[in-house]
Amino acid sequence: MARGAAAGLAVLLAGVAPVAEAEEALREVAPDGFRFLQFNGAAGDFLLPEITCAGVALLDYDGDGDLDVYLLQGAPLAGREPTEALLPRPAGALTDRLFRNDLAAAGPAGRRLELVDVTAASGVEERGYGCGLAAGDFDDDGHVDLYVANVGANRLLRNRGDGSFEEVAGAGGADHAGWSVAPVWFDYDGDGRLDLFVGGYVELDESAAPKICRSATGARDYCNPAAYEAAPDRLFRNLGEGRFEDVSEPSGIGRGAGKTLGAVAADFDGDGRLDLYLANDGEPNRLWLQRAGGRFEEQAMLAGCALNRDGEAEASMGVVAEDLDGDGDLDLLMTHLAGETHTLYRNDGAGGFEDVTVLSGLGPPSLRSTGWGLAWLDLGHDGVPDLAVANGAVRAIEELSTAGDPYPFHQPNQLFRGAGGGRFEDVSAAAGTPFTHSEVSRALAAGDLDNDGDTDLALANIGGPARLLLDDSTPSGGWLGVRAVGAAGGDRPGARVGAWLSGAGVRWRRAHTDGSFGAAHDPRTVFGLGAAGAVERLELRWPGGGRSGWRSPPPGCYLTVREPATARRP
């Protein structure tokens, strides 16, 4: 919907409600079987992956209706032995880990999480240096698969459907040898098969001597990404039958590279085609708008979402593409380095964006932290998006160094309460231990781990334990969950889901797993109903162009909506 800047401002500022005192909304749970310590391999060489990578995916790999947890592991770097590491090394093999959620087995009396380490049984003993992942049913067999982005060769782990995975990247043509961070499954050509975008980060020659970089004091320090060449982005078209074609060049995606750390696929210009927005580290962000014939055209500069309002490129990490100001279109929010803000780009409804960070309340509270993983959630089901941010520095924090902290990079994570109209308030200090405890956090995945309708969080830290945070807030309204799936039952990211609420207009959400740094979210979409109480109509707009509708869906449950075959583009 087109509207002028003044009208946009009015939308932003209108209806700003007082923000309720935050309760300790998210509580950490530590199921017996859930133990994971990330190993970053740091041995004094100040290698960039050490301070960059961690990852977590929430996916229902066994199809039992609840979310399982996949965690990326690090590895020794630069020929070092694990024993040379400065930080504690986890017991056992340094592999990624898959934890099966046995929530269903816990029975109706409770929703207590029970997680079981099924790494060995599943065959996902991935030993690369994990830095990003994407979950999606690329072979349309109804079983979610995994693409693991590593510092080095990536892996495509095909879910056999029997609780085990097999590596097929090389055989299928989706192999990628550089350092990539931000893979995204999305059906860009609308043929019903999930294609794959892989965002490259920087060119890191592991065989060469490590780059030596120093801080202002002359001390050894991690290199700024500007010290490295950008690694290329890649687009792989899914040809079916487990084969992929690298279409980076013909599609245009391969032109240029921007040190991608976050990526989302969504229809930003409302033409029915999925576009790509790339959050780049210190480089202008990119908005690849899809045109006819599977070509993409980079339009971030003109659209106003390449640089911040001063015309500066920021160190973008995680990204959210969601309707954050309630006007029906997709806004963009990114996390950045300390000294930069979490930057909010408001969609003007006409294909353009405006940096409205200073009006959002996100700016000042975000200046002190380096934000990475990012997720929106709806605490209390009031229908207004809230935000969770995973923080952790990339340069030693002076106060921590002075205090003798052996790993002086930790910062508390943050929780922002949505106040409506695109305004937020930092409520971290009142949000309990998960947001006052200080760690070197990176990846943040959002999803309903206990299937109670609210959004929980999974957090992956560098050199520390992974954590699960459950939403225990008291809902102020009901909820409705929607899972958009293809014909075979696999999730269909990119579907737009609209809910017409009683007396409260329509609210649009996006089925997605993408965006957050190093993480894959729950593909399901949850609507908090707030005061409306009920949904009058539900509509899904499929990436292929079709639509599905549902009248008066029952609240308080997840609806699975299957994409009609006619929805696909020929």
Partner 1 sequence: MIRALPIPPALLLAGLLVAGHPVAVSPLGAQTAAVGAGSLVIPRPDLGAMEPGPREKIETLQAALEAQLAEGDLSSDRVREGFGFLGQLFHAYELPAAAETCYAQARSLSPEDPRWPYYLGLVRLSAGDLEGAVEALRAVLALTPDDLAALQRLADVQLELGELDTARRLYQRALDLEPERPAALFGLGRVAALSGDPASAAARFERVLELQPEASAVRYPLAQAYRALGERERAELELARRGEGRVAFADPLADVLPAIATSSAFEVVGSLAGEREGFSEESFLGFVLSQLGSAPGAVDQLDSLLASLREGGAPAWQIGRVEYAIGALLVGHGRDVDAVLRFQAAVRGAPDLRDAWVKLGNAQARAGQFEEALAAFDRALELSATDAATLRKRAAALINLGRGEEGVSDLERAVELDPADRQAWTLLAELRQAAGDPQAAVATLQAALEAMPAASERVSLHVALGDLQRAARRFESAAREYLKALRVDEQHVPALSRLASLLGELREFDRAAEVYGRWIAVEPDSRQARMGEASALILGGRFAFARDRLEAGLAAMPGNLDLKDVLARHLAACPDPAVRDGARALELALELYEAVPTPESTETLAMAYAEAGRFEDAVSWQERLIATAADEAADTLRERWQANLELYRKGRACCDGGTE
Number of residues that bind partner 1 (CB under 8 A): 42
364 is a site residue for partner 1 (CB under 8 A): yes
The per-residue DSSP string of 499-560 comes to EEETTTEEEEEE--S--STTEE--S-EEEEEETT-SEEEEEEE-TTS-EEEEESPPSSSEEE
Spatial distance between the Cα atoms of 333 and 331, rounded to a whole number of angstroms: 7
Among 16, 153, 367, 430, binds partner 1 (CB under 8 A): 367
Closest approach, Cβ 392 to partner 1, in A, equals 15
Minimum Å gap between C-beta 48 and partner 1 is 18
56-59 and 519-520 strand pairing: parallel
Exactly one of 304, 326, 373, 392 binds partner 1 (CB under 8 A); that residue is: 304
| Residues whose CB falls within 8 Å of the CB of residue 162, separated by 6 or more in sequence, listed in order | none
Among 79, 92, 170, 311, binds partner 1 (CB under 8 A): 311
Q: Is 84 helix (H, G, I), strand (E, B) or coil?
A: helix
151: closest CA among 177, 170, 133?
177
Strand order in the sheet with 68-71: 115-117, 97-101, 68-71, 56-59, 519-520
Paired sense of beta strands 234-240 and 275-280, if any: unpaired
| Cα–Cα dist 233/199, whole Å | 5
Quick note: the x/- pattern for partner 1 over 3-32, rule CB under 8 A, is -xxxxxxx----------------------
215 or 502: CB nearest partner 1: 215
The binder of partner 1 chosen from 106, 359, 430, 534 (CB under 8 A): 359
Nearer to partner 1, 239 or 313 (CB): 313
Residue 299 CB, shortest distance to partner 1, in Å, is 10
Of these, 339, 505, 545, 556, which contacts partner 1 (CB under 8 A)? Answer: 339
Residue among 171, 174, 180 at smallest CA distance from 129? 180
**In the bound complex, what is the minimum distance in angstroms from residue 6's beta carbon to partner 1?**
3
Alpha helices of 411-458 — where are they, by DSSP H?
none
Residue 515 CB, nearest approach to partner 1 (Å): 24
**Piece of the chain touching partner 1 by CB under 8 A; list 21-29, 347-355, 492-500, 514-522:** 347-355
In the complex with partner 1, the residue whose CB is nearer, 14 or 488, is: 14
Number of H helices, E strands in the chain: 8, 40
Residue 266: CB minimum distance to partner 1, A: 21
Report the alpha-carbon distance of residue 524 to residue 451 in Å, rounded.
11
Residue 20 or 338: the one with the smaller Cβ distance to partner 1 is 338
The answer to the question of residue 398 lying near partner 1 (CB under 8 A) is: yes
Listed ranges 148-156, 258-266, 399-407, 482-490: which one lies at the site for partner 1 (CB under 8 A): 399-407
Site for partner 1 in 182-201 (CB under 8 A): none
348 binds partner 1 (CB under 8 A): yes
Query: Is the Cβ of residue 306 or residue 443 nearer to partner 1 in the bound state?
Result: 306
Q: Which of 112, 214, 437, 547 binds partner 1 (CB under 8 A)?
A: 214
| Shortest reach from residue 403's CB to partner 1, in Å | 6
CB of 215 to partner 1, least distance (A): 6
Q: Is 151 helix (H, G, I), strand (E, B) or coil?
A: strand
**Could you tell me the smallest distance in angstroms from the CB atom of residue 361 to partner 1?**
7
In sequence order, what are the residues at sequence separation of 6 or more whose Cβ sits closer than 8 angstroms to the Cβ of residue 176?
149, 153, 154, 169, 198, 200, 234
For partner 1, the closer CB: 401 or 476: 401
Closest separation in Å from C-beta 312 to partner 1: 6
* Those residues with Cβ within 8 angstroms of residue 167's Cβ, 6 or more apart along the chain or in another chain: 155, 156, 157, 158
Smallest gap from residue 213 Cβ to partner 1 (A): 13
Residue nearer to partner 1 on the CB measure, 11 or 430: 11
3-state secondary structure of 306: coil
Whose structure tokens read 């046995």? 102
Q: Which of 172, 200, 352, 420 binds partner 1 (CB under 8 A)?
A: 352
Q: Of 307 and 534, which has the nearer Cβ to partner 1?
A: 307
Stretch that binds partner 1, among 20-28, 34-42, 230-238, 401-409 (CB under 8 A): 401-409
Closest distance between partner 1 and the C-beta of residue 221, in Å? 8
Residue 35 buriedness (CB in 10 A; 0-12 / 13-18 / 19+): middle
Q: Which is nearer to partner 1, 413 or 525 (CB)?
A: 413
Q: What does 15-37 look like in DSSP terms, one character per residue? A: T-PPPPPPP--EEEE--TT---B
- Please list, in sequence order, all residues whose beta carbon lies within 8 angstroms of the beta carbon of residue 304, skipping any fewer than 6 positions away: 345, 352, 353, 354, 355
Q: Which of 1, 30, 121, 219 binds partner 1 (CB under 8 A)?
A: 219
Is residue 220 at the binding interface for partner 1, with CB under 8 A as the rule? yes
Can you spell out the DSSP letters for 321-380? Answer: EE--SSSSS-EEEE---BTBPPEEEEE-SSS-EEE-HHHHT-HHHHTTS-EEEEEEE-GG
356 is a contact residue toward partner 1 (CB under 8 A): yes
Here the tokens at position 55 are 């990852």
Binding residue for partner 1, selected from 55, 136, 361, 463, defined by CB under 8 A: 361
The single residue among 18, 110, 218, 406 that binds partner 1, judged by CB under 8 A, is: 218
309 scored as a contact of partner 1 (CB under 8 A): yes
Residues that bind partner 1 (CB under 8 A): 4-10, 214-220, 301-302, 304, 306-307, 309-312, 338-339, 348, 352, 354, 356, 358-359, 361, 363-364, 367-368, 398-399, 401-404
